Structure 1
Amino acid sequence: MHSYKILTLITILTYSIFLLLPNVSLSSPIVSNHESPNANFQKKTGNQKTPILSNHNSPYTKQTGNENKLNLLDNDFPHTTFQKEEKKTGNKKADSHAFNIPPTSSISQKKAGNKNINGLTFNKPSPLSSFHRQAGNKNSKNLNIKVPKVPPFSPISLSNVSLYLPIIPGKDSQYENKHKKGNEKVYDLTISRGSNAPDGFKRDMFLINGQFPGPLIECNKGDTLVINVKNELDEDTTIHSHGMFQRGTPWYDGVPGQTQCGIPSKGSLTYKFKVEQSGTYWYHSHSRTQYIEGIIGPLIVHEPNDPYKNECDEEIIVILQDWYHTDAKTLLATFLSPASQGNEPSPDNGLINGHNSFNCSSASEGSDCVSNAPLAQFKFVKGKKYKLRIINASAFSAFIFSIDGHSMDVVEVEGMITRRHTVHRLPINIAQRYSVIVTADQPIDQYWMRAEMETSCFAVVSDDLNPLITAVVTYDTYNGSTDQGPSSKAWSDDVENCVDLKASDLKPYKNQKIPNPSKNFTIVINFQPDENDVVLGYINNSTYKIDTNDPTLIKVYNGVTQFSPNLNVFTVEKDEIVDLILLNQDAGEHPFHLHGHVFWCLGSGEDGTQPDYNSLNTKDPIQRDTATIPAGGWAILRFVSNNPGVWGFHCHIEWHVASGLVAQFVTQPDQIKRLNPPDEWKALCPNSFNSSNSSNSSNGPKSSDSYNSSNSPNRHNSSNGSNRPNNSHSPNSSNNSNRPNNYHSLNSPNSFYNTKSKKHGL
């Protein structure tokens, strides 16, 4: 009995000591900060599996110092994402989790068994070409993991070209919002100038963290994004998170002259905002022509309740864009001169995930150019399903996207989850985004991924432009020749040029009740020469003139209620249901994008048709943030003014933004003044607050009581000065006065700018 008491006492003391020890779980990973890129290894403790989470101290990531516990169950995915890979150790299997640790610059692509270097799989011939993410974690156990709040992905620089190894989960490993609501994701972006050769033609351009395109930013719906931007350029810059509502933080929308003054050279600004939506987005500079020069990157927001999450195994980001070999400032100076007659510069090439090849025999003498540069590469595994998040980050070009032999099911449009719609060739205009599900169900082989520029929308086409932009999709077990490229055949489906995918083909996953309008604005789009014979863009006969030192948002804080006509301001109050009747009096189509909101696309028509209010789709229209206004045609969009702020509304052809085809909505001005902007933002405009308002003496555009329009000449027919017919037909339409006839010819490209749409939208 005495021995039993002693044994009991020892047991109690041992248990008490154990309780006093730090929280230790045999199933918990060791969190370590390794400076070596080779830090991803598997540690074994007896027979326990102990994955090591490595947080590399990248100069482009920032730790917040706080940690969040994540409970990982089967089919869950942690904030810090990883790729699970089985490695044999004797007769036992050990887990290895690759955490996107940047390798040193000395690492080059080389054979290492199955082309796996430090746990990172490279695609040939260029490991730098795709935002291809592996799903994993299919056999994850119940782990109680401490994960520091750091950006989940780090950029990797290899031979001055961008390498991305981001991981997006598939059906067995979802990146879900399992952590505490309101978690912060922190990213550092350094904007600088450097040399790069995305298509083999080397030129000076802008880089983000030394790479192009910029690093992936991602988070969960409900998170707070913190983006620290440092400007190493010799000019001002901004970053616009394309499609983010910025509810409660309108000063972080990133538009110079509207929501902020620019970040000065060697200056910095932290953009911090709550993310209320989910879907496929991107970020870019909103300062003149800078995103043409390379300041772009993907922004992905994960939706934990995505109805399609169990229908894809992996996700791939595909960024399409046009590319110029001449500095954009030089091109803009020519475009904004009488010599151009309003004809936009033709691209020299196009890129997929920052890669393409170029025929250097057509390059100017003295150019640093290498022909047959590597194309973007994508790896498919037979039988797997892939969600492709497609982003058109062009300045001027619309594309038709396809993968030979593979059908695509559209499931998302700019944040709006849609019913499945199968296509072979997908038209995608500037700034639009689509998610499509593709099944790897074809014979083991290589296939072309195609992005066909819609040059029929261009005014002028460069003689050296190859409008077919390609990448290569290779099945993982393919062992044939790669010398000649794929032999696959393109789809032959007809797709109408310079317009969006048919509205009838895009239906929301869940129908919404569409409210009736309480206000409408008629917006007439046209181009005409100014007094210096420079062709500019006009909205209701007013061309936008930016005031970078006194943004509209600051004017509102200073009590301004009347704005210069050239600011093109429309004012809306709280919860008004606003119809925008856009009448395109121009012979080219225009992709119009609305910041801070999404809109329902109620109807549109091409040249020769008239808007008919009675034929609008108010039953199940798609909701998005960018819509193409057809050449000579019309569109009617509806949104709810429930987000206080100053929100841009503009054509997303970058050349047209610079030419003044821009308006802005001042939404709920009284509510704006109740929001408290940060001092760091105010400091960018030190002389603007409480400044004189004497220059703002006239009223901006007014809401109309009926659908009406003004005639404006066809800019293609400047020689005869003929007017287009009055194409406004609706109840209560009023008489319209003709506009001047002396318009110069200007061909507008197919370019459609989308920022974002929300599921139960604004």
Structure 2
Amino acid sequence: MFSQKIWSLVFNLICSLLLLLPNESLSSPLSSSEPSLHSTSLNKRYNEKIYNIKITKESFAPDGFEREMYLINGQFPGPTIECNKDDVLVINVENCLNEDTTIHCHGIFQRGTPWYDGNPGETQCGIPPNETFTHKFNVNQSGTYWYHSHSRTQYIEGIVGPLIVHDPQDPYIDEYDEEIIILLQDWYHTDSKTLLATFLSPESQGVEPVPDNGLINGKNSFNCSAAPKDSVCKDAPLAGFNFVQGKKYRLRIINTSTFSAFIFSIDEHSLDVIEVEGMITKRHTVHRLPINVAQRYSVIVEANQPKAKYWMRGEMETTCFAQQNPNLNSLVKAVVSYAGCDDKDPSSKAWSDSVKDCVDLDASDLKPYKTQNVPDVDHKIKITISFQNDENNITLGYINNSTYKIDVKYPTLNKVFDGVTTYATDQNAFVIEKCEIIDLILNNTDNGEHPFHLTAQTCQTI
């Protein structure tokens, strides 16, 4: 059995494609009123919330271009999973594919339950075809999160949805009337397996594929004149949002893209940032919000403009792309309609504030709502990120000159429980003493900006 003195904090910062690995209205896939999705009410605290999700692959056309993609409970994006802080969350995942899959709750710490993190090769094996896997864990945090497949490139073509953890003690809870979830996503018309095979070949020279479109809550309209002749393509509606004049809205904005950073805005409406990835912050007002891959923000928006329609904009930061797609319309739009307005199309003007290309929101402008004391660290771990050619001339991500090799048949966590304390270099594993405090120092040597996040975390005796 594993030593009581040592617990392995094993994290693998996988740069596999830098997260290329992930036609309902807003009120359908992103509503908290899914009658068949969960079995208990959200108005009770310290409850067990049960969700059943079924993953299939079907023909679908989010932007009018029809293609085979993954669906969750027959819809895209997947239905909202939500609970209260300190609830127990149960997610029953039914895999109806002809391949394995996993579900990762992105941003959830999994303290004490790392085996439910959904990371194949690290915390579990994949869920086999026609099998069901149950995640059950306590949620002792709150904020805006999302869930997605962590198997290969599945999330970028459908296995994705929002995960919201409410806090009845949220200091801003009385400062808005309603919540709206907004998912931003780049979108590809080519099957992700093909994209991945091309990328992981010497011919790509490490140049990432460029998206064909962008989506807001799984919707946009593609210019079908640019579609291949043998494809099925038709006009599709934009996402729509309803405002009532005088009300205030909390927008939970999630970038579920593969590569694309976005700049989010609503014409003529200011955005007050109040949450960054689970951390409640002091208000910071912006007009245009840069949001990178996997990042999440909550902003408060007041419906204080004349009754009309306004453009919501998700501007894809194409200057960050390694190459350009001449058929890509990088400006993704949705329509915000005030109750009682006419049927005219929006004539609103975009904010003109300049935002630096490919750079996150300035962290110095984001202050925790409550003062945070930074603890002393026991030691520091320095991590250098680079992209290099391997022995086959394929460009891969490297951490301290080691590229990670996944072992799907013997996950890292299984090794931990088997008492393994020494890992191969290509596992990119760091073993630390139980409950140590460490600084991770990330040195990105690439000329592009890359997001990173920690997955399963725990501090306990095994």
Q: TM-score by structure 2 length?
A: 0.92
Post-superposition shift, 1:575?
2.5
Residue type of the alignment partner of 1:516 = D
Aligned position for 2:213: 349
Q: Would you say 1:420 and 2:280 are equivalent positions?
A: no
Structure with max Cα Rg: 1
Q: Name the counterpart of 2:17.
A: none
CA distance in 2, matches of 1:329, 1:287: 12
Q: Which residue of 1 aligns with 2:411?
A: 551
Query: Which whole-Å deviations, capped at 9, do the CAs of 1:173-197 have from their partners, x for residues lacking one?
Result: xx97644x3x111010111100110
Aligned to 2:5: none
Q: Could you say which residue in structure 2 is the equivalent of 1:257? A: 121
Aligned to 1:381: 244
Pick from 560, 564, 571 the counterpart of residue 431 of structure 2: 571
Distance 1:152 1:376 in 2: 19
Does the 8 A contact of 2:315 with 2:332 survive in 1? yes
**Letter of the 2:338 counterpart:** Y
Shift of 1:304: 0.6
- 1:520 aligns with one of 354, 368, 380: 380
The equivalent position to 1:403 in structure 2, one of 261, 266, 280, is 266
Rate the CA distance shift 1:586–1:275 in 2: closer, same or farther, 3 A. same
Alignment partner for residue 283 of structure 1, among 147, 170, 177?
Answer: 147
Correspondence for 1:230: 94
Task: Check 1:177–1:210 CA distance in 2 against 1; reply closer, same or farther (3 A cut).
Answer: closer
Give the unaligned 5+ runs of structure 2: 1-22
> What is the alpha-carbon distance in structure 2 between the residues aligned to residue 130 and residue 353 of structure 1?
10
User: 1 CA distance for matches of 2:42 and 2:120?
Assistant: 34
For 2:264 and 2:36, the matched residues in 1 are separated by 27
Q: Which amino acid aligns with 2:350?
A: A
Alpha-carbon contact 1:155-1:215 (below 8 Å) kept: no
Whether 1:429 aligns to 2:299 is no
- When residues 409 and 131 of structure 1 are mapped into structure 2, their CA distance, relative to the original with a 3 A threshold, is farther
Q: How far apart, CA to CA, are the structure 2 residues paired with 1:155 and 1:370?
A: 31
Whether the 8 Å CA contact 2:266–2:312 is kept in 1: the answer is yes
State the Cα deviation string for residues 316-354 of structure 1 (Å, max 9, x = none): 000110100000000000000011010000000010000
Query: What SS class does the counterpart of residue 361 from structure 1 fall into?
Result: helix
Q: CA deviation at 1:413?
A: 0.7
Indicate which of 35, 47, 51 corresponds to 1:154. 35
Q: Which has the higher contact order (CA 8 A, sep 6+)?
A: 2
Aligned to 1:529: 389
Kept in 1: contact 2:383–2:441 (CA 8 A): yes
Q: Give the Cα–Cα distance (whole angstroms) in 2 for the partners of residues 133 and 590 of structure 1.
A: 28
Given that 2:63 and 2:220 are in contact with CA atoms closer than 8 Å, whether structure 1 keeps it comes out as: yes
Measure, in 1, the Cα distance between the counterparts of 2:431 and 2:209.
Answer: 34
Within the candidate set 425, 430, 449, 2:312 is matched to 449
Corresponding position of 1:507? 367
What is the number of residues matched between the two proteins?
A: 438
Runs of 4+ aligned structure 1 residues displaced above 3 Å come to: 129-134, 175-179
Corresponding position: 1:460 with 2:357: no
Where structure 1 has 5 or more consecutive residues not aligned to the other structure, the ranges are: 1-125, 135-150, 157-165, 167-174, 598-642, 645-667, 675-762
User: Of 394, 398, 415, which aligns to 2:257?
Assistant: 394
Shift of 1:133: 8.2
Alignment RMSD, CA only?
1.8
Q: One-letter code of the match for 1:154?
A: P
Q: TM-score, normalized by length of structure 1?
A: 0.56
Residues 277 and 415 of structure 1 are in contact (CA less than 8 Å); yes or no, is this contact kept in structure 2? yes
Conserved 8 A contact 2:29-2:78 = no
Partners in 2 of 1:234 and 1:431 — Cα distance?
27
8 Å contact kept, 2:378–2:436? yes
1:178 and 1:236 map into 2 onto residues whose CA distance is 35
Aligned pair 1:300/2:197, yes or no?
Answer: no
Instruction: Note closer, same or farther for the CA distance 1:497–1:595 as it changes in structure 2 (3 Å cut).
Output: same
Verify the 8 A CA contact 1:194 1:206 in the aligned structure 2: yes
| Residues 28 and 34, structure 2, Cα contact 8 Å, conserved in 1 | no
Written as runs of structure 1 = structure 2, the 5 A alignment for 1:589-628 is: 589-596=449-456
Give SS of 2:431's match: strand
The change in CA–CA distance for 1:209 and 1:177 in structure 2 (over 3 A counts) is closer
Deviation at 1:574, TM superposition (A): 2.2
Q: Equivalent residue for 1:212? A: 76
